[in-house]
Amino acid sequence: MKKSSLILAGLVMTACVFLINCKRDENTVRIGGIFPLSGNVAAYGIEARNGILLAIDEINAADGINGRKVELIFEDDEGKPEKSVNAYNKLTTKDKVKIIIGSLTSKCTIAITSKAQAQQVLLVAPAATEEAVTDAGDYIFRACFIDQFQGTVGGIFSANELGGKQAAILYNNDNDYSVGLKDNFITGFQQQGGMIVANESYTTGDVDFNAQITKIKSANPDLIYLPDYYNTVAVIAKQLRAQGINITIVGADGWDGLTKIAGYEVLNGFYSTHYAADSTDTKVQNFVKSYQAKFGTIPISAAALGYDSMYLISDAIAAAGSFDSTDVKNALAALKGRYVTGNLSFDDRHNPVKSAAIMEIVKQGNKFTAVYKTTVDPR
């Protein structure tokens, strides 16, 4: 084949690819996603992604958003901030997205918020609860309540509903999530007249907590607050019970998934979270039924928050009548609606104003599960 023919063939192929991409862009809206799909908190990332994919299936089945189908382009950050940055750069430069859902943990989300704000990329974090997440500016939102609210709720509930008078705390001192919850639990508990009799810490990767537990036992608390993720809480609870400490244990949304890996040691356990799968609310039950049909499991809070994040974006685009990130950002700030994780509106820092569900861990037949206990509203 002549050189000129090769050049012509190449130009034709390039033009075809360009036209195909233009057609796809005209008919779709690309949403970026950053989640830990591997690593220590992969269970949450997978559930959040699944919730988003379920929402997209439903949205596309209803003719999409303003006539466009939704396409999710997602990256795995392994729960590591430096990989969150790499994922963000890839999504915004190669994939040209202007709206991103993610990341999941607070540190990973904070690693990309300043870049998103500077580049006017709308960022919706499903489950990043640290207060500083939205500090970067008005393009940053979250679907979850913040640690300040959740930790305080835990303290108030422990004092008023559980009758706690003397609480012990065992927390991860190099995890901002754990530290924030601990600090606000103390505030809420002490406001109700409770006393903190032991305040012990550990670091990420520790597996032996017996020294701290021995100190806690000598302080004779009537409950203990464990603000960490389910995999660490399962180990701590087993060691607590092994030392004969059978008091109530209390935690937060990081406990979601605990009953999949723990047993009797987590009975008499309560935790705050974003929604209750056994709620009688029709919206919740429809979500749970659809999620089970698609993925075969009962969705945890990360899935519900991912699902709501996608619907928040969809509703904001529809309200704005535009796919421009600034228009969508402005519409989202003014949005008020009823979602799986509750009635929701945004405050002036783009934190949602909504309730927290309290779950109790019980044994039902041969299975351990978390059941809805009560709801605590914002104050």
Helix axes 301-320, 282-295, angle to 10 degrees: 110
CB-based contacts of 341, cutoff 8 Å, min separation 6? 143, 144, 274, 275, 301, 304, 305, 308, 354
pLDDT digit string, tens, across residues 69-87: 999 999 999 999 999 999 9
Domains of the chain, CATH where assigned: 8-145+280-346 (3.40.50.2300), 148-273+357-376 (3.40.50.2300)
Average pLDDT over every residue of 29-44: 95
What's the order of all strands across the beta sheet hosting 336-339?
336-339, 342-346, 352-353
pLDDT digit string, tens, across residues 353-366: 888 999 999 999 99
* Cα dihedral: 67, 113, 76, 292 (round 10): -60
CA distance 299 to 256: 10
The DSSP bridge pattern shows strands 248-251 and 269-273 to be: parallel
More confident residue, 377 or 204: 204
Strands (DSSP E) contained in the chain are 28-35, 69-76, 99-102, 122-125, 140-142, 166-172, 195-202, 223-225, 248-251, 269-273, 336-339, 342-346, 352-353, 356-364, 367-376
**Largest CA-CA distance found in the chain, in angstroms, rounded:** 89
CB-based contacts of 122, cutoff 8 Å, min separation 6? 98, 99, 100, 116, 139, 141, 313, 325, 328, 329, 332
pLDDT digit string, tens, across residues 131-176: 899 999 999 999 999 988 999 999 999 999 999 999 999 999 999 8
CA distance 54 to 52: 5
User: Could you tell me if 176 and 108 are in contact, meaning their C-beta atoms sit under 8 angstroms apart?
Assistant: no
Nearest Cα residue to 328 out of 117, 99, 142, 144 = 99
23 has a pLDDT exceeding 70: no
CA distance 80 to 73: 19
More confident residue, 305 or 354: 305
pLDDT, position 29: 96
**Whole-prediction pTM value?**
0.81
What's the order of all strands across the beta sheet hosting 195-202?
195-202, 166-172, 223-225, 248-251, 269-273, 356-364, 367-376
Average pLDDT over every residue of 216-238: 97
pLDDT, position 27: 87
Average pLDDT over every residue of 268-288: 94
Q: Which amino acid is at 72?
A: L
Q: Could you tell me the pLDDT band of residue 379, with boundaries at 50, 70 and 90? A: low
283 has a pLDDT exceeding 90: yes
298 has a pLDDT exceeding 70: yes
CA distance 66 to 142: 23
CB-based contacts of 54, cutoff 8 Å, min separation 6? 287, 290, 291, 294, 295, 303, 307
7 has a pLDDT exceeding 50: no
Helix, strand, coil content of the chain in percent (nearest 5): 50, 25, 30
9 has a pLDDT exceeding 90: no
The one-character DSSP state at 137 is -
More confident residue, 293 or 18: 293
List 122's β-bridge partners, or say none.
99
pLDDT, position 288: 98
List the helix and strand counts (H, then E) for the chain: 11, 15
| 295: its two tokens | 């993925």
CA distance 305 to 155: 23
pLDDT, position 355: 86
Print burial letters for 280-304: b (CB count within 10 Å at least 16), e (below 16). Answer: eeeebeebbebbeeebeeebbbbbb
265 has a pLDDT exceeding 50: yes
Percentage of the chain surpassing pLDDT 90?
A: 85
Highest-confidence range of 24-28, 148-152, 189-193, by mean pLDDT? 189-193
| 153: its two tokens | 């709720």
Percentage of the chain surpassing pLDDT 70?
A: 93
pLDDT, position 377: 76
| 330: its two tokens | 């402005």
The DSSP bridge pattern shows strands 223-225 and 140-142 to be: unpaired
CA distance 130 to 135: 10
Q: Could you tell me the pLDDT band of residue 25, with boundaries at 50, 70 and 90? A: low
Other C-beta atoms closer than 10 Å to the C-beta of 370 total 26
